């Protein structure tokens, strides 16, 4: 009788999130990347991260099926214009902003 080893994924299934990100090469993408890098360089223990807007989180399911569905959704959706105010930072390590 063989026994499969339990992994971290058995106890905590993988969850995915759907993000909006600026298209590479756009001025907004460069501006956000530069701002994040600059702020991270001036704040101790800051984490550099990919700029994004989380549309929805906590999605579970087959990765291939989720990828295909997301690609279909993206192909059927017109580009979205987003306007941002001032960029700010805080000492909060992880922050959910509504």
d(CA 36, CA 25): 16
Task: Please write the tens of the pLDDT for every residue from 53-82.
Answer: 888 888 998 989 999 999 999 899 998 888
For 5-31, write each residue's pLDDT tens digit. Answer: 555 555 667 889 988 888 878 888 888
Q: Looking at residue 24, what is its pLDDT? A: 78
The SS3 of residue 12 is: coil
pTM of the complete model: 0.59
Tell me how many degrees the CA angle 28-34-40 measures, rounded to the nearest 5. Answer: 135
Indicate left, alpha or beta for 25 from its phi (over 0: left) and psi (-120 to 50: alpha): left
């Amino acid at each position: 009788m063989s026994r499969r080893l339990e992994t971290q994924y058995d106890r905590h299934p993988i969850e995915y999130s759907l993000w909006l990100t600026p298209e590479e090469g756009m001025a907004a993408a460069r501006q956000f990347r530069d701002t994040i890098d600059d702020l991270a360089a001036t704040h101790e223990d800051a984490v550099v991260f990919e700029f994004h807007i989380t549309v929805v989180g906590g999605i579970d399911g087959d990765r291939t099926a989720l990828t295909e569905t997301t690609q279909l959704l993206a192909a059927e959706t017109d580009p979205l214009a987003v306007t941002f105010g001032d960029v700010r930072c805080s000492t909060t390590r992880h922050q959910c902003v509504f």
